[in-house]
Amino acid sequence: MAISRRHALRASLLGGAGVALATAAPAPAWAEPGLPFAGGAHEALRLLKEGNRRWRRFASRHPNEGRNRRIEVAQGQNPFALILGCADSRVAPELVFDRGLGDLFTVRSAGEVLDSSVLGSIVYAVEHLAVPLVVVQGHSSCGAVSAAVEAHRTGELPHGHVGYLVEQILEVVESTPEDGDDFIEDCVRANAVHVADLLRRDEELRPFVEAGDLDIVAARYDLRGYGVDWL
């Protein structure tokens, strides 16, 4: 789907919201009122890297949290990236990337596990909000990945819903070589790369990737060093 068609689709969904946006508050530098982020995946990635650099240096600016921004986003949203991250309480994307209201469309599940709800949320952001960049972000000391490693070594899955999560990660664990210094961390990286690859091949997302309207990248956040490694 060409970007012009995506703009038209977005405008039809917003209805009259674009007019309200124009009078409520100045739009962000990267967006026209009522239209998606126009900077593309490269610019979106640059903004994320800049924000994480500030976070690492304890120099966060906490942008887009003031009165004008709150008024603006009440009329509609123009997120420039989607972060599929773990549900872990220590890895909030808006903090890790020093972004504010309306900047990031966030979807979180333990171990970045995909299901219909997660996929539907991602497709919505790509189709209707024209988000140009999806980041699959794992993190160090991930409990879901650690549980999958434990299941791999013991042959026993946890019961119930947690067992479902572990089972989805187990395939990655079983295909990851155990010849590194830290097997769990190797699995964390492999899992993020695997999920990103699944998204690129998804039948609803693949056309956007092939048209150059969407980039999907994998990353890992370090809980001790505060930095994001791009995989």
Tell me the binding residues for Zn(2+): 86, 88, 139, 142
> What are the backbone dihedrals phi and psi of residue 78, each rounded to the nearest 5 degrees, phi first?
-135, 60
Tokens of 81: 């990236």
Position 59, amino acid? A
What is the spatial distance between Cα 105 and Cα 179, in angstroms, rounded to a whole number? Answer: 36
Helices (H), the chain: 3-14, 17-24, 40-56, 67-73, 93-96, 116-128, 143-154, 160-174, 183-201, 206-210
* Residues in Cβ contact with 94 at an 8 Å cutoff, skipping those fewer than 6 apart: 100, 103, 104, 106
* 34: region left, alpha or beta (phi > 0 left; psi from -120 to 50 alpha): left
Annotated binding site: 86, 88, 139, 142
CA distance 141 to 143: 6
Q: Are strands 104-108 and 81-85 parallel, antiparallel or unpaired?
A: parallel
